Structure 1
Amino acid sequence: LNAEGFESTDALLDGINVAQTAVEERSVVEAGAKQQAQAAETAFRTAEAVEAKFVASAQAQAKLTILMGRKAEFAAIADRMKQAARARLIVDVEEQLVTAREDVKDAETKLAEATQAQSEAQQKVKDAIEAVAREEARAPEIETARKRKDDLERFARVLEAASASAEAVQAALEAQRIAQAAFGKSKDRLDQLRSTRAERATALKSARSAESARGELMKAQTYLLTQKKAAEDYGKAEAAARSAKAAFEKESAASAKALEHETEARAAYAAAEQALAAAQALHLATKLEKDAPCPVCGSTDHPKPATGDIENAGRDQAFREARDRFETAARAAREASEKLAGLKATLEAREETLSSLEQPTDTLAAILENVRQIEADLGALGPAVNLEEVEAAIEALDEQIETQETETERLRSEADKCRNAATEARAARDGKLEAVPEALRTQSAVTSAMDETSRILTALVEAKDKAEAVLKAAREAVLSADAARKGAEESVATCKLRLEKAEATFRTRLSEQGLTEEVYQSLKPAIATIDSDSEAVRRYETELNEAQGAANAAASAIGDLTRPDLPVVKEAHETALAALTKATEDRIAASNRVGQLEKLRQSLEDTMRKLDKAEAESGPLRKIAALTNGDNPLSLKLETYAIGAMFDRVLEAANLRLGPMTSSRYQLERDTEGGRGSRGLGIQAFDVHTGKSRGTDTLSGGETFIAALALALGLADVVESASGKVRLDTIFIDEGFGSLDTENGSGTLDQVLNVLNSLVKNSRAVGLISHVPLVQEAIPNGFYVRKGLTGSAIEERSIS
């Protein structure tokens, strides 16, 4: 009752009534705060919606302003594009004009070359005519030599026929057959080469046409693949933006729900904490003892300890669970907020990526269909052909044909000779030697005469043939030169006429398009950018129309609305939520207070019944407890008495160590007079020199160190003797030796060290930490700790 602030059970009942009234009042306050919070929530959401409309309108108007600022720029582009479009209609005419001018220039050059060639050819004809006239004057000599040669050849054949006419005929016929077969085979080979050459030429023409088409298709294929890549990138970016937006909206709802759970858990945690505080006060009150210090304030006087049922301490579990739920909810809300921020950043990044990409004009399916069509067209063209290899093959065929023509002509001549020989052999077989002069009837004579005649005839014929060949070639060259000059003159006339037509067409086309040649030349660079300029103007007009529509729509959405002061509305919303939270916490605390007081009332009733029964049953036991707790004439507790008995054994063992160290001057004994609840546990030193006991606070520093050392050694001896399982084999003593006198180089210090050495002899290790030189000298082994710039180091020390 005292812990709860009540003097009696009647006051407790009054307190319960007051608490119930407070619950009702706070419930009313909570309901009002909830209505106000709902109204503030509605006002805040409405203000947010209106603010969003104003922001959207401002953004749309800003975008429209930017686009309107570029209107003059795109108007200039559109005007330039129109003029360039007109100029593009003249490009083909200009190309024809340039080609015509180049043709005229080439034709005039060829005419000059043809005129020069004609003059040179005419001079060569004059020279050749004179040479032929000189050779024709020697015609009788040639005829005589030829007749002489024919006669000699006939004589030789007659001689040969006379000796072996039959064999000669057969040999001549065989030779004729072989020569004719060789000639036929060579002619067939020549025909085959010419046919192959014609086929290769046709294939080369087809290959050139196919390669030209292949080049155009590959250009289109490269452009479509670029469009395909752009369409795929845009589709992926668009899908990623949609996914990020869905994730952000989903996480927004989850974050709001997590914040709501955090608010509820916070209120429950505060109520559980308040209930626990009250229960802990009751728990601590049950642990207070008379004359024992309070664990909270330390006072030994407890005028008004709290009372109640110890079972109320179970609220600690409720508090822990409420705290865990609150921490979990807070952590979840924090994680949801962090995740929402990350998703928002992801959404903004993906939307920015999407906006940076240009939306493709065609769908991906249409682009893929075009790519497949081009690939099919390329496949229909067949594999690529190496035009240089085909041309080289045709050139090789031309060389083979030329060689084969020469060989075929040689074999034709050989076949004719063989045929003539066969005829002559047959004639010789029928004739005899009657027609052969006497001087030439030997083979050697005929051969000699024939060689001389052949030499003369060959020289005459070759000279005449050469002169005639030169004349023929010169005349053919004149004819070719005349034809070339005439063709060149006609070509010049034709090219000039075509040039005049091209210039007239060019001027007409300029006039039709309303352009001068200077303006046309200035517009030629813009022709190449017509398509891109058209697309840019189209996009600009689309964006301008969309921006105008968006600005109008945003303005219509605003209408007569007044822009709210969103920070003020938000602050009011947060204030209302805070007031609702405070009202809910107050109502929960009041409810808990009622429950707590009700439990206290029930606990008091149960406790009083238990106390009455316990007092009746525990009378004799309480009397014994009083005696053991110090409620006796000596005011001595049983625990203190037992500790005192053990303490006597410790002091007895300590005096065994203290005597040798103080020359038997001091003895430690218990102070049985001082103290209250712990009477008899104090220590005083009996001085043999004075015969009186004195407090330990009157001892010198060295005497205090010796007494403490003896007490520690005595305690170790008693602990070992009381329990055979416990051995204190090692003792460390930190400093204190500097307070001992060193009379005659040793004094008390020597006595202490002797006692410690006796411990070492009994298989007990003693470690000393000291800076006193005599201590270091008395210890045979040890180590130094040296301080350095980089830290401390251990140095082993030994005395040999």
Structure 2
Amino acid sequence: TLEEAEESTRMRKRDLDNSERELEKKNNNLMEITKKHEIAKRTLDLEESKENERASAQKNVMELEGYLDKVRSLDHIRIKVKDLAKNLKAKEDAKLILLKQLESIEGKFLKATKELEETREKSIKIPYYRAMVEEKEKGYNKKVKLDNLEKTFQLSNIAYFKAEEKYATAEALYQKTKNEFAQLQLVWYKGQAAVLAKSLEIGKPCPVCGSNDHPNKAGQEQNVPTENQLNQAKLELEAIEKEKDRKKDFLHQNKLEKEKLQKEIYSIKEEFVDLNIDINQMKEDLEKSRVALNNALQEEKRLKSLEEEFVNIKKNQDNTKVNLKNAEDELLEINKIYGIAQGDLAGREADLPKELSSLDDLMKSLDKARSQAVKLMKSYMDAKQSYESTYGLFISAKTSQEEGVKTLDEAKNKYLSEKERFSLRLKEKEFAKYSEYENAKRQQEYMDLLEKEINEFEGSLRSKEDRLSRAIKSSEGLVRVDIQNLQEILQIEEGEREKVANIENSLRDKIAKEKTTLEELVSIDKLVGDKEKEYENVGYLAQISNGVNAHGLTFQRFVLGALLDDITVAATKRLKRMSKGRYHLRRTLDRARKNAAGGLELEVFDTYTGIERPVSTLSGGETFLASLSLALGLADVVQTYSGGINLDTIFVDEGFGSLDPESLDLALKTLIDLQQGGRLVGIISHVPELRERIDARLEINISDMGSRATFKVL
């Protein structure tokens, strides 16, 4: 149609205008790129002229890199030499320290040796001091006893004289009363004779003598007492006689006591060499001996620690000597290695330039050389890249400009052709001029609207075509996704998400419960804390009394331990005798196991070795003696604590078979002493040697008819 021809002509006109504008842009771009290309060409020519400079810089880098291994090795050797120097200094310091330690230890060793010898000399004198103390105690006690006896004797003598005087007075009173009673009795008899005489008849027998003759009858006496008076006088005489006899017995008792004291005084005086020695002097000598003995005993106690200290010092001295010898050997070895390393270092330093002998200096020079070489190479490469880039842009711009000229010519030809065709169409439609055609067209507003819609459509079409082209390009090489598989995966993932959501909800509920529980626990903890504070002292006492302490000692065991201390003291007296002074029983707070209760464990102090050890280390016979001693000690302590209750009988069952003859003698002697002290001692044993020593036995004999018991008393 005519409108289409007109529109086609207009389009060709627009294409022509666009081609002219595009060609102008390309001409301007070509001129700008041509200038840049010429500048890049001149820069490249300049950089190519620096080829020798670049080669020299690269050579310098290679030379410096060639020194790297040598300098690294040199630095390694320097570090090694430095470390060796430090090690050498440390070894020298260690040697000096060891020398000082050895000097100090040798001083301690000499001091400990001297102190140990002195302590041994003092401890050796213990038997001498003990014997001296025993002798002086015996003498002092006898002197005290003698003085007390003499004082008692003086008092007894005075009491005797007083009793003698009282007895003499009582005897005189008795004789006087006796004479008076005899006289009174005689008068009474005479009075009775007079009464009898009154009843006598001549020729009749006398009721007293039977005589029929009564030539001399008794006459009547004056002041004849009555029978009651006579009986009263007799009672008084008997009372005075009893008092006299009592005073006589008292006098006799005083005499016996006086004689006993005289014998004791005489017996003690016979043992004294010098009776005139002052008791205060004896006491002073005794105290001096006791002090000397205590000092010796203290030295004996110190002896063990001194011996251990001496052994430790000697061991320390030997170890220090060994360490010193090792240090000297190590010092010689390190000194040798240090000398070799120093020589190697000096040789390597001589092979390198002085300014490059340090790795830091070399790295600085190398970094500088590399930087220069890189800078030169970068300048060249940048110039070359710039030239190549501008050259490519120049060719592209020139080609684009030539294409623009060609496009402009084509657009011009198309426009002229369309214009000619449009003119022919106008003539065909009988439009003489174009203005007539313009007037014949629709209103301009409508045409503008149509043109706008057309332009928008064309723009949208081109945009979608571009998007389609980009999408096709982007999707090249892609694989079609399986939507169904993705949906299945999505379904599985949603199931997992739901599970996780359920777990999350469960955890949230659990957290809420835990928070509630935590709040309750905090509240309970606070309540418990308040209660703990309230009952802290009670709880502490309960723990202590229940054995929650360092010794595992309960309150019950603490009380029993106090009783056991008394038992061990009493038992030790007998055990010392039965073991010839070797063993002493002691209570110990040590425990065999950490989880065992403590406080009632026993140990023995061995005076032969001077060390304490558990009772479990005793032999069978020694264990029996210790058990026997404990049983006897327990009996003594029970009697002491019970207040008047006596344990008069003790039975010992077996154990004698494990004793050697000497120990058997000592054990029996102890039991015999108990028997002589008033106790009944029964021994149950099958040891034949005991039969000869037991006076009263209940023997059990076994026969085919059964057992038979018989008493035998020797």
Q: TM-score, normalised by structure 2?
A: 0.31
Pair member with larger Rg:
2
Q: TM-score, normalised by structure 1?
A: 0.28
- Structure number with higher relative contact order (C-alpha < 8 Å, ≥ 6 residues apart): 1
